[in-house]
Amino acid sequence: MTGQDIMGFVAGAFVTCSLVPQIIRVFKLKSAREISILFTGLMLVGILMWLGYGISKSLFPVILWNAIGAVLVFTLLFGKLRYGK
């Protein structure tokens, strides 16, 4: 594994894990009024596009973290639709 691969794994972990506290907050407080539906939707589209890019280039760190990120953003979107009133 190269230094570039390690940097890709670490950077992906930081960016992806940054979603976790927000998801926990939404479901703990049962409130997502402050979350923008536009932000969440655009983020999901962007992550899915990065996932497609990673797959097309066989970039494992990009595939891994964007697959996980897509699940997390979808969870945030679900929370927004459920508690965003």
Rounded-to-10 torsion of CA 8, 11, 22, 73: -20
In sequence order, what are the residues at sequence separation of 6 or more whose Cβ sits closer than 8 angstroms to the Cβ of residue 58?
A: none
CA max distance for the chain:
47
- Per-residue confidence (pLDDT) for residue 50, from 0 to 100: 97
CATH class of 32-85: mainly alpha
pLDDT, tens digit (0-9, with 9 covering 90-100), for 54-84: 999 999 999 999 999 999 999 999 999 999 8
pTM: 0.90
